[in-house]
Every structure is written in structure tokens, then in C-alpha cells.
Structure 1
Amino acid sequence: MNNCPGPTAPQKEITAYLNKIYEQGDLEPVMNELHLWSLDSEYINKDKLEKNSIREFYDLDYDLYFSYQINYARAGYQQKNKPALPEGAECLICRENASSPGKENLRIFDLKLKGVEEETDFFLQLTPFPLFPRHLVLINREHTPMNMGAESIAQSLSFIGMAPHYTLCSNSDLEWAGASILSHSHFQLLHKRRLPVMNASPLFEFDSEKGLKVEALRFPLPVIRLSSEKRTDLVREGSRIIDLWKKTAPGMRTVNMLIYREENNFICTLVLRDSQFRTPEDLQKYKSEGIGVVEAAGSWIFPPPSGYPEEELTQNSREIIKGFFKGIRVFDPLDIKGYDFLPYKRKENV
């Protein structure tokens, strides 16, 4: 659009500009403008983003391409002397961080999402260390904890209904089980990005009600994919599966989640996680932090090499990534007994 605010424009001016676009009824142009402004203002480091070279390898066992990158955009982010949190902020992603010292060029966009019963205030921002182009974060305006269940599914579907070209990825609500910032509810947003799990074929299908498809996937981790034209189907059955999985080992089990659209269907993909299953010790030199949703979905992110040559990772990426998958896998996805907690029977001859 014309008359885009300059790179030093204050939040008030950005808000007015983006609201004018949003009034035309489409959210994605708003997100595009916020992305372009963040590049203009150098909130996103273009050079570091371009250095994030994504490599792929094919795995015959799953008939899938998996990917990995060394994320230079994040290098230096965890600096020793970070500015203190601004007044009113309780964590690094609270709304009060916008335009604060150290984040002078951070701008946001406010919106509402429909939950199970009520609307909730959220806001959009770019991440300073993007994994991919147009990588945004959708954040609850209130400093409220992550919670995987009906409300988070409903809110995610509400967003995807407004931005169908995005994939929404959710880290979990349990430490060491695919979590990031546990204290503040948020989602990762990837533009036109198909993560490997989205291309996974079904191992088998479960009996479910008409219009709803429930499948276990051919993937290194146990994954359940639900698809339906009706959002209410996914909220009801997705939350049911999450609750049942959590009850099999209270305080240890939860899920990572992806929500996206394919033609007329909404898709809810649940990756089963357990905090007892972590990165093997011999692989921690490549990545010591927890394994989040993007990696559990098959697109691995490694920090710049420290203490080992980069060639060690690039030449052995297949074996290393398979080792990570094996370490965080709760059960063998090929074992039908692992899915006994589900309230469905396996379809025969499918």
C-alpha cells in the first residue's frame, strides 16, 4: 500500500495504518505490511535471515524429505546484558515490550480471536530471530500460561480462518515436552510453509463420525491428524485426544500442535510428547535446548556450531536427526498398541 509509515514510525502510527488495511476485511495484507516494515526498520536482520540455508534429505523409511538449518538469525540473541523488562511486562513476549529499550523497532498489531465461547485479545509481532521468511508470533494479550486443550485449538482455528495461507504451530504446556515460554500463551506462524509432518502419509485410519477423519501418521514420532470442514469437530475431538493422552501419565504428557487449511478442510495435527523422553546426551553438543514443535514436525533448527566443525553436522545430518527423533519418541508409531488410549477403533482394510 501507499503511504506506509517510515522506519522510525511510532506504534500509534503503525496501528492506525494497519487498522485501515484490516478494515477492508483481510488479515494477511496486515501481516505482510508488518513484515515489510520490520525489514525496513531493521528489526529483522535481513543478512542473518538469508544465511539460514535450509538443507533437505530424503528418508526412504517414511517417504519424506526432512529439513534442517543452522539458525544464524538467533546467534547473539541470548546476550548477557539484556535490558530490564519494561514496566508492566512479566516476560519477554508481553505486549509492553513493543518499542521498549532494546526493542525500539518492535511493532505489533492487535486482534481478537474466538475461543470456545468468548473472544480473546491477541496481538501479532515478528520474531527477531525468524526461522523462515514471514515468521510471526501470535501472542495472548494477557500474560496467561500455555495450555493445550479446547481453548487453544479454538483460538488457533479462529486465526487460520482469517489467514488460510499460514501454518500455526504451537509449542506445548509442559517443560521438556516441546515447550518454549511456558508462562505466556503464544503460537508460531509460518507463511506458506509445509513442514515435513504435513506431507506424511497415513499409517492407518480410525473409525470416527461422518465428516471427521482421524489418522495415525507414518512419521518418526507418534502423530495423530484430524481433518474436517467443521471447526467444532476439531475442537471437540482434538481436545478429547489431548485430555486422554495427558491422563496416561499426568504431569508428563502433552502435545505439540499444528493447525492449517487444505482446500475446504481444517487440519489439526497432534504430536504426542512426554517430558521423560529428551535429547540423548551424545547429541547435546549439536543442540542442548528442548525440541520444539517445528523440529518435532521434521524441520530441525541448530544453533551455530560451537566446539565442533560445521561439516560434522552437515555430513552426518541424517543420522544425527534420526537420533534426536529416537530420543524424544514416546513409543514406536508402528506399534498399534501405543494408540490404545484413543476412543476410536482402527478401521479395517484401510
Structure 2
Amino acid sequence: MISTAIQQLVNYGLDTGLILPDDEIYIRNQLLMTMQLDSFAEPEGDICYTDLESILKTLVDDAVARGVCEDNSTARDLFDTKLMGVLTPRPSIVRANFEERYESEGPQAATDWFYKFSQDTDYIRRYRIKRDVKWVTKTPYGDLDITINLSKPEKDPKAIAAAKLAPQSAYPKCQLCVENEGYAGRMNHPARENHRIIPLTINGSAWNLQYSPYVYYNEHCIVFNSQHTPMKIERATFRKLLDFVGLFPHYFVGSNADLPIVGGSILSHDHFQGGHYEFAMAKAPIEKSWVFPGFEDVEAGIVHWPMSCIRLTCADD
């Protein structure tokens, strides 16, 4: 019975704290509207569920069977994200929760909460991330992390054909723009109704924090400019990076090169990547040290690494 699946999703929202008991009837009705149903039969007994993936599959299968959703992988992702968007709190509520935790419990408590929240909303699909293959291999340069990302959905032929016929749009300008927050998506752009971002100020400019939906390492985050402006490595870049780790000292952050092929995958939008993880490069020893005259407080050295790598270390300013 589809009413059971709807109530299961409501219960999931209650269990994860995405919604409160006072929201239950309202959220149920919003789900009915999304499913294009006009009635609900109260299920009997306790309504249990095993996992979010199975609930969403039941609902999407029903929507496909009734012609509410097209039967291809992209359309299914768009539709189940719309369902999760019903459960996802407004940005103002999310930001207030984040800021309250940051001020009262510290930056790590705030990011711990936000990362779990981003998983609970299904923006980070836990059940897909589990498919990724990861292992550590010993090398002359230390233990290297190897990952094969299998969680990013592959397009099926029907979805590719539908995307080709879809009207072109310049909104949002790219997948990193702030306008993605809450966006319904289309055949050639992912849905983001369940996506929330946290505004930041670094180097006196407006930036934002979000997580990558395709987690390559623990708490893989993206820090991006509020303006759609191209990537550019310059002096200000380093101040922004340092400001970020000042705000979140338990995170690392770095920038891809602003060059095609060897650089970032979205060069049109200035952004960094970070997370709560320590890579082998950070653990690698120094092969040769030296001192810059006039900057004796800065430790400099060539890192024992297969590619050119220089490490600079100094105390906070």
C-alpha cells in the first residue's frame, strides 16, 4: 500500500530530526501532492522500515507506474530528490542550527551536524557511497589512498536521449552556483531540493560551504565563491584558504590548478575542496630543508613525493 510507504518516509523524517511531530500531517500532505495523490489510508499497527533507499524505491516505482515520473535513471533521481526536498528544512533553519552549534559547541560540532544532515536528507546518498571501492597500498612514498568512485550515477540510454532533447538553460550557470540550493533540476542538471549551503566570509568576500554528494574521503567538502567567477590562483587565494582553516581548524582545504585538463573539473566557478581527512602527502617526510632569508620563522622543504611538492610551515599570524 502506497500510504504505508508515505508514512514510512514521514517516520524517517521524524527519526532523523528533519521534521518535528507538529509537522507530520503537513509533510504527509506535501508528499501526497508530490505523488499526485489525493487520499491517504492510515496504515494499521506500527509502521517500520528498513532503509531510506527501499522507501524511495517503492514511492518512485508507484509514481512511474501511474505516469507521474518517467522510467529512466535521471527522472527517478529527480523525483526521489523532490520527495526528500519535502522533508528538508528551509535554508534559514539549517543555517541557524549550524551557527548555534558553531557558537556553543565549536566548529567540529557544527560540521559533524551538517555532514550528518546532508546524509539524512539524501543529498549524500549513503547507499550509493557504500558501492565505492577504497583501499590503502604501501609505496616508497608512504601509504597511498586508492579510490574507485562507483556512486556517481551513470546515465542510461533513455536518460541520455531525454537530456539531448531537453531545452537548454543558463540557470543555474553551473553546478556550484548558489542558485542550486532548492533547485528542482532537469534532465541535464541534477535536482537539489534537498541541498543546503552554509554562507562564509573568507578574505572579506562571500563564500559558501557544502559537501560533495560523491564522497571521495571523509567529509569531502566544497568551498565556493558566491559569485560565478572563474578559478584564479593568486595571492588572495592563499588568504582565503588560510581564513577557511582558521574557521574550521579540524579541516584541510586546497585548490586545484586553474588550468584545463590538469586543473579543476569546473574551472568556470572559483572553488576549493577540503574535508576531515589527512592524506599521505601531508604525512610524507621532508627530503631537503632550507630557509628563506628574512623569513626564518618559515620552515621550507622538498617533500618526499613522486611529483614536485614543497611544504611551507609556520605559526599562525
| Residues 133 and 150, structure 2, Cα contact 8 Å, conserved in 1 | no
Map 1:189-208 to 2 at 5 A.
Answer: 189-191=274-276, 193-208=277-292
- The verdict on how the C-alpha distance between 1:188 and 1:226 changes in structure 2, with shifts beyond 3 A counting, is same
Q: CA deviation at 1:176?
A: 1.9
- The verdict on how the C-alpha distance between 1:59 and 1:10 changes in structure 2, with shifts beyond 3 A counting, is same
Aligned with 2:113 (options 28, 33, 42):
33
Q: CA deviation at 1:201?
A: 1.2
Could you tell me which residue of structure 2 aligns to residue 219 of structure 1? 305
Deviation digits for residues 102-150 of structure 1 (CA, Å, limit 9, x no counterpart):
111111111111x2xxx01111112111112311111111111111121
Could you tell me which residue of structure 1 aligns to residue 198 of structure 2? 109
Could you tell me which residue of structure 1 aligns to residue 137 of structure 2? 57
Q: TM-score, normalising length from structure 2? A: 0.64
Q: TM-score, normalising length from structure 1? A: 0.58
- The verdict on how the C-alpha distance between 1:86 and 1:110 changes in structure 2, with shifts beyond 3 A counting, is farther
- The verdict on how the C-alpha distance between 1:16 and 1:137 changes in structure 2, with shifts beyond 3 A counting, is same
Deviation digits for residues 54-104 of structure 1 (CA, Å, limit 9, x no counterpart):
2121123x3x11121111122337974398788753211000001101111
Q: CA deviation at 1:25?
A: 7.4
**SS of equivalent to 1:89:** coil
| Residues 172 and 180, structure 1, Cα contact 8 Å, conserved in 2 | no
Q: Which runs of 4+ in 1 moved over 4 A?
A: 82-88
- The verdict on how the C-alpha distance between 1:57 and 1:84 changes in structure 2, with shifts beyond 3 A counting, is farther
Could you tell me which residue of structure 2 aligns to residue 299 of structure 1? none
- The verdict on how the C-alpha distance between 1:85 and 1:10 changes in structure 2, with shifts beyond 3 A counting, is farther
- The verdict on how the C-alpha distance between 1:85 and 1:152 changes in structure 2, with shifts beyond 3 A counting, is farther
Deviation digits for residues 269-322 of structure 1 (CA, Å, limit 9, x no counterpart):
xxxxxxxxxxxxxxxxxxxxxxxxxxxxxxxxxxxxxxxxxxxxxxxxxxxxxx
Task: Please give the alpha-carbon distance, in whole angstroms, between the structure 1 residues aligned to 2:17 and 2:288.
Answer: 50
Aligned partner letter, 1:220: P
Aligned partner letter, 1:225: R
Aligned partner letter, 1:148: I
Task: Please give the alpha-carbon distance, in whole angstroms, between the structure 2 residues aligned to 1:8 and 1:222.
Answer: 44
Query: What is the aligned-residue identity percentage?
Result: 25
**SS of equivalent to 2:192:** coil
Map 1:17-32 to 2 at 5 A.
Answer: 17-24=97-104, 26-32=106-112
| Residues 49 and 132, structure 1, Cα contact 8 Å, conserved in 2 | no
Deviation digits for residues 8-50 of structure 1 (CA, Å, limit 9, x no counterpart):
2122322232233334373332222221111111111112222
**SS of equivalent to 2:96:** helix
| Residues 49 and 133, structure 1, Cα contact 8 Å, conserved in 2 | no
Aligned partner letter, 2:176: I
Could you tell me which residue of structure 2 aligns to residue 94 of structure 1? 177
Task: Please give the alpha-carbon distance, in whole angstroms, between the structure 2 residues aligned to 1:54 and 1:43.
Answer: 21
Could you tell me which residue of structure 2 aligns to residue 143 of structure 1? 228
Task: Please give the alpha-carbon distance, in whole angstroms, between the structure 2 residues aligned to 1:222 and 1:68.
Answer: 20
**SS of equivalent to 2:282:** helix
Task: Please give the alpha-carbon distance, in whole angstroms, between the structure 1 residues aligned to 2:116 and 2:143.
Answer: 30
Aligned with 1:155 (options 240, 250, 265):
240
Q: CA deviation at 1:207?
A: 2.2
- The structure with the largest strand share of the pair is 1
| Residues 182 and 196, structure 2, Cα contact 8 Å, conserved in 1 | yes
Larger relative contact order (CA 8 Å, sep ≥ 6): 1
- The verdict on how the C-alpha distance between 1:85 and 1:139 changes in structure 2, with shifts beyond 3 A counting, is farther
- The structure with the largest helix share of the pair is 2
Task: Please give the alpha-carbon distance, in whole angstroms, between the structure 2 residues aligned to 1:130 and 1:84.
Answer: 30
Higher-Rg structure is 2
Task: Please give the alpha-carbon distance, in whole angstroms, between the structure 2 residues aligned to 1:13 and 1:187.
Answer: 25
Could you tell me which residue of structure 2 aligns to residue 168 of structure 1? 253
Deviation digits for residues 142-192 of structure 1 (CA, Å, limit 9, x no counterpart):
11111112111101101101211111121111112232211111111121x
Aligned partner letter, 2:154: G
1:184 aligns with 2:269: yes
| Residues 291 and 298, structure 2, Cα contact 8 Å, conserved in 1 | no
Task: Please give the alpha-carbon distance, in whole angstroms, between the structure 2 residues aligned to 1:162 and 1:196.
Answer: 24
